[in-house]
Structure 1
């Protein structure tokens, strides 16, 4: 039987994963391995293995478009955060991880716990977080019985930045360079080992950069495993701050004590300030900068999407 036209199965493309080329199956013998790349053969026999769904395959390179389509089919148009979390963990397992830093993310951990599946959590430790944030990390680990995978900036890059421009260059030159060294680069390294990530983004967090956040989307700003784009899950996208805090209170989840002092969106200590009730929550970030583009670079796609919307 020829499998030349059999391209997809369960969202996986049958390819020569090392060379990135499709394999012609017309002259392949599954018993002897004739016609297959040598690295697929062993002892005169092809060594197939079985996927999680029992599908026998020889080798796989995940195609992000097919994977996104599979996820969207599983979601069925639902924007229920619990269902989104369940689909994310069921589909990608340990190839997806939750990005954890604040109030929204503690709710994500609760939704993940309810699935009764193993889940991974990572956090970016920039070296300049509030003491209250570090205490939240410790409380979250104890409450959910997990170990957070901490991601640190490259010491040589931090040293070069500080020795050249000082500790507070972002007050004069903007936050982009510092965030790049302390947050974006460590995130890029972490995501390169994953196929997807889960964030606490909501459309109501920022009227200028997050109004178009989708429940699930392709993240082309970073490269995941095998150098392909990641699937980005935003289970809370269509919820609200009120929803988040209702879950926190009803489940008595750990929280950052800074919220009691007027802080809504919490980042690094030098770059975060409390806001008054009439201010939007992202206005507490980089308060000395222009107010409409409050992103550090972790969600760069938001700015690109916003600019495209404004140009239409």
Structure 2
């Protein structure tokens, strides 16, 4: 199954050429019925994609990873999204025993102490739940954009995720921040108010801060670490990795 999916990448890249986000997602749901899923962190980009899916009643499963350390504002926009679109976005949570053991052995904020601790925390709270969420699916839709980081500038719009054995599709890859904001405003889409306070990439509260003018998009994530260590394992590419 996975080999067949991997071999379809080149053909899909050609077939999706020229299609807008809604058209492309609809095409993928027709090619892989019941096997297309979308991961939302309720970011600007993810809210655009959720709107496209829910407003057009596209048969895509939407899920989120509730790490247990999210901002209150993130939970609020999650709730507002459920209400606006009359939906129930599914959440995947860390395995309780693994999380309990990690915190008992290392403390609740040990991710500040070492990169290894931080990556282990990310694995328990995000990477392992993601694998459960993606299981049985053929296509994983993401909100990655090229502007987010240097690692994403050269990403193809559709790619093979070897780690998760799944096709990844990035419908907003070449959208600008201005285009995303304009779409949000034009369609009255709920969004995280932290975006208005300088937060660009919003993850867990202890690991996210607002960025300063001129700083890189990713500067607000794990800011105490070297830039080349800033990955959590969610989005692993052939030569680079970047946290979402």
The TM-score, its normalising length taken from structure 1, stands at 0.72
Give aligned pairs, total.
Answer: 238
Who is 2:181 aligned against?
245
Contact 2:69–2:205 under 8 Å retained in 1: yes
Superposed CA deviations along residues 11-53 of structure 1, whole A, max 9, x for unmatched, are xx8xxxxxxxxxxxxxxxxxxxxxxxxxxxxxxxxxxxxxxxx
Who is 2:30 aligned against?
90
Give the ranges of 4+ consecutive aligned residues of structure 1 lying more than 6 Å apart after TM superposition.
none
Q: Return 230-239 or 288-297, whichever deviates more.
A: 288-297
Alignment map for 1:1-312 (pairs within 5 Å)? 63-75=4-16, 77-78=17-18, 80-101=20-41, 102-174=43-115, 175-207=118-150, 209-222=151-164, 229-301=165-237, 304-306=238-240
Report the Cα distance in structure 2 between the residues aligned to 1:204 and 1:63, rounded to whole angstroms. Answer: 31
Of Structure 1 and Structure 2, the greater helix share is in 2
Across the aligned residues of Structure 1 and Structure 2, the Cα RMSD in angstroms comes to: 1.9
Contact 2:127–2:233 under 8 Å retained in 1: yes
Deviation at 1:92, TM superposition (A): 2.0
Residue segments in structure 2 that go unaligned for 5+ positions in a row: none
The TM-score, its normalising length taken from structure 2, stands at 0.90
Deviation at 1:135, TM superposition (A): 0.8
Q: Return 211-220 or 107-116, whichever deviates more.
A: 107-116
Relative CO higher for 1 or 2, CA cutoff 8 Å, sep ≥ 6? 2
Contact 1:212–1:306 under 8 Å retained in 2: no
The alignment partner of 2:37 has SS state of strand
Report the Cα distance in structure 2 between the residues aligned to 1:293 and 1:205, rounded to whole angstroms. Answer: 16
Between structure 1 and structure 2, the one with the greater Rg is: 1
Residue segments in structure 1 that go unaligned for 5+ positions in a row: 1-12, 14-60, 223-228, 308-312
The alignment partner of 2:18 has SS state of coil
